[in-house]
Amino acid sequence: MAALIRLELVKIFRKMRTYIGFGLIGALVPLVYWGLSFAGDDMINSMTRGLQQNFLFVGSLFNGWFVANMVMNSLFVHVPFLILLVAGDILAGEATSGTYRILLTRPPSRNTIFLVKTIGAVGYTYALVIFLAILSVGLGLLFFGHGDMLMLREDGIAIIAAGELWWRFLLSYFLAGWAMCVVASLGLLFSSFVENAIGPIVGSFAVIILFIILGNLPFEFFENLRPYLFTTYTDVWRKAFDQSVDLAAIGRDVLLLAVFFLLFLGVAWNIFRKKDILS
């Protein structure tokens, strides 16, 4: 099993498309930080203008933690597409390259192969999220320093103490990685249907966009539909930055995401195990 997993990871990281996500994040984060270096203090002053008459703010609230959180909120709209570039190709790519017949006639069972493919997709997902975490937090603290973090909320502004931020960010990136694993499992499901990687990538991303739109429509029917859409729970990582972290609410969302993860994988596995190796 270890040898198969290692082989699968080698196959994933030998493809150029695997590095599109890393390259995009590696270029975009420094560029965003460069732009923020010119406008950061003005942004903070604008956010706290209504409070400066009644409160005294000591130190700089524009720091590495603040910009890392901004990047998280911005990039996690686009990270699902970067995940699908690999997850959508992980099964369909075998058909495109003509290796399905060789792969499925080797001694490892289809169950083992599917498990290895799943581990490969999850491994890539967390590798990308960890890369984003190291780059955004590392560069943020290096160039902007550290301190308390300002959070803009619907009901006002909250400030999280510097001493709490390290574990909050660790928790948020872990939760974000888990949410992206559900996205990867959706890509794996679409990848099991077809023999070309473009279809799974576009189809999976279209489903995500559709679910996000439906989940945000301000009508009673769609509000009742929201609990059944997995995109409702993919922002669970934001709960790590609540003033008081509700572990029960986080645990509920994590379990619900696990249900969708297993559902997508279950359907994909059922299709994969019945796939005709002569096709």
Chunk the chain into consecutive blocks of 10 residues (it has 279) and report each block's average pLDDT, rounded to whole numbers: 82 87 93 79 54 50 84 86 90 71 70 90 95 94 86 72 92 96 94 81 92 88 89 93 91 97 95 71
197 found inside a domain: yes
- Residue 13 in domain: yes
Domain of residue 186, residue span:
2-273
Q: Residue 279 domain-assigned?
A: no
For 29-71, the pLDDT digits (tens) are: 999 888 877 765 555 555 555 554 544 455 566 788 988 988 8
User: CA angle, 212 as apex, 206 and 216 as ends, to 5°?
Assistant: 145
The answer to whether residue 278 is domain-embedded is: no
Q: What is the structure's pLDDT at 56?
A: 47
Is 99 among the domain residues? yes
In angstroms, rounded to a whole number, what is the distance separating the alpha carbons of residues 131 and 133?
A: 5
Whole-prediction pTM? 0.88
In a domain, 178, yes or no: yes
Please indicate, yes or no, if residue 186 is contained in any of the structural domains.
yes
Domain count, the chain: 1
